[in-house]
A and B are shown apart, each in its own frame.
Chain A
Amino acid sequence: ILNVEQSPQSLHVQEGDSTNFTCSFPSSNFYALHWYRWETAKSPEALFVMTLNGDEKKKGRISATLNTKEGYSYLYIKGSQPEDSATYLCASVNFNKFYFGSGTKLNVKP
């Protein structure tokens, strides 16, 4: 079993704040790192898939970086909005298997 850790477990911010979360994963046998956004009562939706050390991806106000040598990825949200409230999951892919962290639950207050 591969240990993927996310921090913090939960986060409460005010509308307009920028925030970031961390995903840590074993760097050996690394294949890919996925980020998903999961709203309550819905299914997880893919945000980013990253494979190369130093990768940076951006989608609107959300961006992510990847460091495969030290085994971590950051997800950044700039100017948080109430609609950003969700649980953000990361998953490391090794030998065709997915290993998910337990998620960071973000609550953005208006």
Chain B
Amino acid sequence: EAQVTQNPRYLITVTGKKLTVTCSQNMNHEYMSWYRQDPGLGLRQIYYSMNVEVTDKGDVPEGYKVSRKEKRNFPLILESPSPNQTSLYFCASSKTLGTGGVEQYFGPGTRLTVT
């Protein structure tokens, strides 16, 4: 089954404790992306990757890191989480954007709470 998986689905952590949210897709997609969703705001792009070893900042990259060492995986790293990073996080993937006409597939989401 074609899918995007994220782990963990729920996480409660404390300020400053490094954490990683994993994202994996089995569709051989080139483009992968991380978003956060906060009440009253639309999805905001954190980082994206056009292909292996190619990553770039989205709109809200501060406090996050990513890596793309393999095509299928795109982990999101919070080196020193803070309460303002409490949010619902989505990973998404698509075939290469090309002319932009390719839909994204979203993972199930990770609800993160930082106390």
Query: How many inter-chain residue pairs (CB < 8 Å) link A and B?
Result: 66
Interface centre among B40, B41, B44, B100 (most CB of A within 10 A): B100
Contact B59 A97 (CB under 8 A): yes
Which residue of chain A has the shortest Cβ distance to B42 in the bound complex?
A: A100
Chain A contact residues: over half helix, strand or loop, or mixed?
A: strand
Q: Which residues of B contact A96 (CB under 8 A)?
A: 31, 48, 50, 56, 97
Known: A1-B59, A100-B44, A102-B42. A44 touches B97 (CB 8 A): no
Could you say which of A11-19, A45-53, A70-78 contacts chain B?
A45-53
Known: A43-B90, A43-B107, A100-B44. A32 touches B101 (CB 8 A): yes
Known: A43-B90, A43-B106. A100 touches B43 (CB 8 A): yes
Restricting to A13-57, which residues have a CB under 8 Å from any CB of B?
31-32, 34, 43-46, 49-51
3 pairs of A and B residues whose beta carbons are closest in the complex: A32-B100, A46-B103, A100-B42
